[in-house]
């Protein structure tokens, strides 16, 4: 299958300022496969070292920091030739190997001719500790679940993917494209973007197989909870994780600790929640009081929403049967559109430098699902899971912050159009959101 992150890896390889690379991402998102496939396509050979399967390799990094000694030892132990610029060196499962991570500093400073990439499950937790990696001596690449665009390519709909890529004006899509894209999106809500799930669907066309692989992934995540250094945190992690469908099924999706457990307090559970965030299992989206730059300066740290890294995992965790995809737009609207919001968020995050936020007001109640920063523009986004597009909150936001609001965006199952300052984007075009916003803003300036 084709991953868009491959282009980022090629740019890393060709950069004259290349540094050792650390690849991050939730477990089973395809980090190792991506690095191996990149090495297969763009290098003479790969030197692969897995520090979970071969913990003895760590000794080479403990005994010396001299790269000229480390490389021959690795080459002999692994029986693999390592040549500068021609071999991709992959250090895998390095999350428990501080010596290996620290060695990247010496590869950067003393042996930049070697191309080194590191990855590992739960690596984000390790990197959350400031002493775990050499600041300024490495580059980072985050691998996300497969986008809907990648799903189209993987499932043989290259024509639909190519069509979406070439759209260069804000105008309705013909039904010949709109309808099959809408149907494909339903299937994506069933599979999600975890590569093994998509691959199994392509191979078998079996919903039962999808269910089984997703459950295996969820089980693997839950086993990871036991790797928290504090044993007492394990039940808390499990409670937060299992509360996710209930949190998102609420009308107001603000995260509440008493949904996790009756009487629960923030101070009891905030460390466990932060572990899930660092493990890339969930996204934490803060409320803003008003749209200003930088948005982080306007955050209300006491109010936030939590979403899962993948819509397919959320659907399976919520035990929503895939049969729903045959019932009109039910998958999009199920438990108050939570799947749709999760899908939109996971698609927006890779497109924008700053993390999305949300805006809300009480008495009377208004809430805009997401607010993103695009260059120096702050853009409110509302997510509608069907064709009903009444947007009282989006309208209130525009009235309240008229001077800061050049464009409003709505995702729905309606066609692409720009109407009275509101850009309606079909849900299946969320991967093109950044580009479409740019087209809409340029159109407003030119007009």
Q: Is residue 159 part of a domain?
A: no
Q: pLDDT band at 298, cuts 50/70/90?
A: very high
Q: Could you say which of 100, 117, 142 is where a domain stops? A: 142
**Edge-to-edge strand list for the sheet holding 21-24:** 45-50, 87-92, 115-119, 21-24, 139-142
pLDDT at 328 over 70: no
pLDDT higher than 50, residue 155: yes
In the chain, the number of structural domains is 2
**CA 299 to CA 290: how far, in whole Å?**
9
Q: What is the residue range of 45's domain? A: 5-142
Average pLDDT in the chain: 93
CA-to-CA distance for 188 and 110, rounded, in angstroms? Answer: 46
pLDDT at 370: 97
Q: Is residue 339 part of a domain?
A: yes
Residues 311, 436, 412, 306: what is their CA dihedral angle, to the nearest 10 degrees?
Answer: 40
Q: Please indicate, yes or no, whether residues 341 and 442 belong to a single structural domain of this protein.
A: yes
Both tokens of 311, joined, read 């819509």
pLDDT tier at 447, thresholds 50, 70, 90: very low
pLDDT reported for residue 59: 96
pLDDT tens, residue by residue, 161-200: 999 999 999 999 999 999 999 999 999 999 999 999 999 9
Going by C-beta distance under 8 Å and a sequence separation of 6 or more, which residues neighbour residue 325?
186, 187, 189, 190, 331
- Note the pLDDT of residue 390: 79
Report residue 129's pLDDT band, with 50, 70 and 90 as the boundaries.
confident
Closest CA to 367 of 322, 317, 308, 305: 305
Sign of the alpha-carbon torsion through 110, 112, 115, 119: positive
Let me know if residue 169 belongs to a domain: no
Q: Taking the alpha carbons of 426, 431, 437, 439 in that order, is the dihedral positive or negative?
A: negative
Same domain, 185 and 229: yes
pTM of this structure? 0.94
102 & 247 share domain: no
Q: Are residues 335 and 191 in the same domain?
A: yes
Domain annotation covers residue 150: no
Q: Are residue 194 and residue 124 in the same domain, yes or no?
A: no
């Amino acid at each position: 299958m084709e991953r868009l992150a491959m282009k980022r890896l090629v740019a890393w390889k060709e950069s004259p300022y290349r540094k050792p690379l650390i690849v991050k991402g939730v477990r089973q998102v395809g980090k190792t496969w991506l690095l191996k496939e990149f090495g297969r396509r763009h290098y003479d050979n790969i030197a692969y070292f897995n520090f979970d399967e071969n913990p003895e390799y760590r000794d080479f990094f403990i005994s010396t920091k001299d790269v000229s000694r480390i490389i021959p030892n690795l080459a002999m132990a692994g029986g693999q030739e390592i040549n500068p610029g021609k071999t991709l060196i992959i250090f895998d499962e390095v999350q428990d190997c501080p010596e290996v991570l620290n060695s990247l500093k010496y590869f950067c400073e003393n042996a930049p001719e070697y191309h080194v990439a590191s990855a590992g499950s739960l690596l984000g937790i390790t990197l959350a500790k400031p002493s775990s990696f050499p600041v300024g001596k490495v580059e980072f690449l985050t691998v996300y679940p497969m986008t809907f665009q990648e799903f189209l390519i993987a499932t043989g709909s290259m024509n639909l993917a190519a069509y979406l890529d070439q759209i260069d004006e804000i105008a309705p899509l013909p039904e010949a494209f709109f309808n099959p894209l809408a149907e494909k999106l339903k299937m994506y809500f069933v599979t999600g973007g975890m590569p093994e799930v998509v691959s199994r669907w392509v191979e078998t066309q079996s919903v039962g197989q999808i269910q089984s692989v997703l459950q295996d992934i969820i089980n693997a995540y839950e086993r990871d909870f036991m790797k928290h250094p504090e044993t007492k945190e394990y039940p808390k992690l499990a409670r937060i994780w299992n509360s996710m469908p209930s949190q998102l099924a609420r009308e107001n999706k603000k995260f509440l600790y008493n949904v996790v457990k009756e009487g629960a307090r923030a101070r009891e559970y905030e460390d466990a929640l932060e572990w899930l965030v660092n493990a890339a299992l969930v996204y934490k989206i803060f409320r803003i009081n008003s749209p200003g730059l930088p948005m982080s300066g306007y955050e209300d740290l006491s109010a936030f929403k939590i979403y899962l890294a993948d819509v397919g995992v959320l659907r399976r965790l919520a035990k929503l049967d895939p049969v729903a995809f045959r019932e009109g737009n039910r998958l999009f609207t199920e438990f108050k559109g939570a799947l749709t919001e999760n899908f939109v968020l996971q698609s927006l995050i890779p497109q924008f430098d700053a993390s999305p936020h949300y805006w809300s007001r009480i008495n009377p109640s208004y809430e805009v699902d997401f607010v993103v920063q695009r260059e120096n523009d702050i853009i409110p986004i509302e997510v509608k899971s069907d064709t009903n597009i009444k947007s009282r909150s989006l309208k209130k936001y525009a009235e309240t912050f008229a001077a800061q609001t050049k464009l409003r965006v709505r995702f729905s199952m309606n066609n692409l159009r720009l109407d009275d300052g509101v850009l309606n984007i079909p849900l299946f075009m969320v991967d093109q959101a950044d580009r479409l916003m740019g087209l809409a803003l340029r159109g407003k300036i030119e007009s």
